[in-house]
């Protein structure tokens, strides 16, 4: 079993959830709900893994909150 970090955003225009694996081109999908997004991302990731281990272009480190005046 493999684990991947996913960034999830909500498109304000369409109301659709969009998710992507940082640093992995092609590892992205969307869904009307978070559950649908998860299913779609799982399917995409499984399909991409059929070609072998990913060669990530960058590594996810984390999130940081910054306050500005």
pLDDT of residue 29: 98
- For residues 10-23, one letter each, b for 16 or more C-beta atoms within 10 angstroms of the residue's C-beta and e for the rest, the string is eeeeeeebebbbee
Give mean pLDDT, residues 22-41.
Answer: 97
Confidence band (pLDDT; 50, 70, 90) for 69? very high
pTM (2 d.p.): 0.87
- Give all domains of the chain, ordered by start, each with its CATH number: 1-69 (3.30.160.250)
Distance CA 7, CA 64 (A): 13
Give mean pLDDT, residues 21-32.
Answer: 96
**Average pLDDT value for the chain:** 95
Task: Return the percent helix, strand and coil in the chain, to nearest 5.
Answer: 25, 15, 60
């Amino acid at each position: 079993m493999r684990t991947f970090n996913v960034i999830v955003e909500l498109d304000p225009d369409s109301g659709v959830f969009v998710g992507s694996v940082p640093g992995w081109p092609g590892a992205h999908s969307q869904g009307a709900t978070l559950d649908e997004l998860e299913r779609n991302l799982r399917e995409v990731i499984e399909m991409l893994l059929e070609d072998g281990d990913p060669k990530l272009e960058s590594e996810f480190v984390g999130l940081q909150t910054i306050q500005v005046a």
